[in-house]
Amino acid sequence: MYYQLSPNCIQRIIMVNYLHKKNLIKLTGSIFGVSALAFSLNAQPVFDFPFDEGEGETTTDLVNSFVGTLGIPVTEADYPVVDTTTSPSGLASDQSLRVNRPNAYLITGEDDTSALADVSQPLTAEAWIFVPADSVPQAEGIVGYGGSWKLALGPDGSLVFTLFGVVDVASGQFPALGGWSHIAAVFEPGVGVEFFIDGFSVGFVEETRPMRDPIYNQLGIGSAGRGEAFNGWIDRVRVTQALLTVDQLDSDAANPKAPLPETIVSYDFSESEAPFASAGTEPAPATPAIEVFSAENAPEFAADSPTGLEGDSSVFFDGNDRIIVPDPNGLFQLGDPNDPEAPTNFTVQAWVKFSDQPGGRSVLFFSNLPGGAISFSVTQDRRVFVTTLGIADMTSDAFIPLDEGWHHIAVVLEAGVEVRYYVDGILGFTRPYTGNVVKTRTDTQFYIGSEPTGGLPFTGYIDRLKLTNGVVPASELDFRVIPGVDPDAPEIMIGTAVSVSWSSEARGFILQQTADMEDPESWMDVNAQPTLIDDMNFIFQPATGEEVFYRLIRPDSE
């Protein structure tokens, strides 16, 4: 709660922190209260994520039992499958790998193929592939490295060698459909690419431009390395730092050649399951890409929280993370499900803590569900931001302090009336809003920490993320550090000195003051120790001729 001290009066600021109905000031027979706020008696919670699991790969909300996966959810369809019934040789002891779009391929670790990082070296990439007869042509990676190069099939199904960011070198030749084919590309830096199909040269294409340096150190098998998965069977994948000749290629189906001394990786998929070992000079075990990507995109539970209490955790996002929450039963619902055109009000709120200045607009929550298309975010300069998708992007002048501490933010949208933005329980900005909320979208899941594709990621901590169908009054927002614990506002008396007091039961709180309410970073601790008198903490300050504002806060647990 904030109080303003001026030379002639005591004035309670209408938009208050720690707002409570009983906190009224009575002065010379007058009561200064709080202006009425719009309130929907039908407000119903949609979700409430306390993030108190502390560990694990999922988080569950307390309202509709939505279960969010930290990172990309993994299903059996995302794993390539060892196939013991088909192979180039056709031998009973031979097997291959069935890969599939979009995620069921393999990838190596970041440092397991570092020898390939020298892009000045000559390169031969080869593999056996089986393209299904009914396959629909599209860009498909066979093997690729680090965003530097890939051996692939082009959008028309022809054999292609790509220098990423430079050129797609097209052979104009097509591997057979419905059977096994050996394909290879021999790249000589500064000269060009020679292509081979089933042990025969099918053309040379001059290309003198250099390959770009890798942007990551992973090799993709059955893909370009980070997407464009192949749809078919693959076997005997090799990458050699040398210009191989026809007789050195592994193009004899029944008689696999031994890897050469210059062969960096060589996979024959003889294992029954991942990881798959390389017989080249680099060990480079290959694992399902979905496991790697899910781990890379998974936020982590953290002991840091607004309360600092034992057992209270939050979720930390490193700027590459997201939580994906399915809604298979259509429980996510804003407004009246029986009247999509009716005004749709909502309240969304969360506690946030920045690890650094945001690098851009950062999404905390995103929904393109039929129950309501909205997103909740913060801008690069830490303003609270809300979007009614398909209608309006709406920023505010409600700033979140960059002080390495926890802060509560909230947006209350009253359709056809206005949008209200709060920081730490204080109304920071209001804008008119004559629109509604789109309820015709068809997504089946919502997202925490980014947009669906991972865009506009949040960096920092999120806790107590809540969405309510309806308008939540300011006094009921979750801005109290400890939920349900509302420390009494400091009581103020002015004589020759200012006496500020508050209940000693409000433990862990400190008194701050400012002369400028519009500058959220101007608050300073009152450098005086409280005196305990009759269960009340007292601090005495000299009376001044300028306006002074006081507030109680609970500092960050760290």
Pairing mode of beta strands 314-318, 459-469: antiparallel
Q: What is the per-residue pLDDT across 263-305, written as a single tens digit (0 to 9) for each?
A: 999 999 999 999 999 999 998 999 999 888 888 899 999 999 9
Q: Going from the N-terminus, what domains does the chain have, and what CATH number goes with each?
A: 2-37+483-553 (2.60.40), 44-71+299-472 (2.60.120.200), 76-295 (2.60.120.200)
Mean pLDDT in each 10-residue stretch from start to end of the chain (558 residues)?
37 29 26 30 88 96 97 88 95 93 88 89 98 92 95 96 96 96 98 98 97 94 86 97 97 96 96 95 92 89 95 95 96 91 95 88 97 97 97 96 92 96 95 95 96 93 98 94 74 66 78 84 86 82 76 66
Separation of alpha carbons 347 and 182, rounded Å: 59
What confidence score (pLDDT) does residue 488 get?
59
What confidence score (pLDDT) does residue 259 get?
96
Q: Beta strands of 189-336 (E only): which ranges?
A: 192-197, 200-206, 219-221, 232-240, 263-267, 286-288, 300-302, 314-318, 323-326
What confidence score (pLDDT) does residue 448 get?
98
- Rounded to the nearest 10°, the torsion over CA 286, 118, 200, 127 is 10
Separation of alpha carbons 446 and 331, rounded Å: 12
Separation of alpha carbons 31 and 221, rounded Å: 74
- Rounded to the nearest 10°, the torsion over CA 27, 28, 29, 32 is -30
> Which of helix, strand or coil describes residue 232?
strand
Cα–Cα distance list, 25 to 10, 32, 109, 492 (Å): 9, 6, 64, 9
Buried b (16+ CB within 10 A) or exposed e, 79-101: bbebbeeebbbeeeebbbbbbbb
376, containing H or E segment = strand 372-378
Answer whether 25's CB lies under 8 Å from 32's CB.
yes
What confidence score (pLDDT) does residue 496 get?
59
Q: What is the per-residue pLDDT across 299-354, written as a single tens digit (0 to 9) for each?
A: 999 999 999 999 999 999 999 999 999 999 999 999 998 887 899 999 999 999 99
What confidence score (pLDDT) does residue 13 get?
30
> pTM value?
0.67
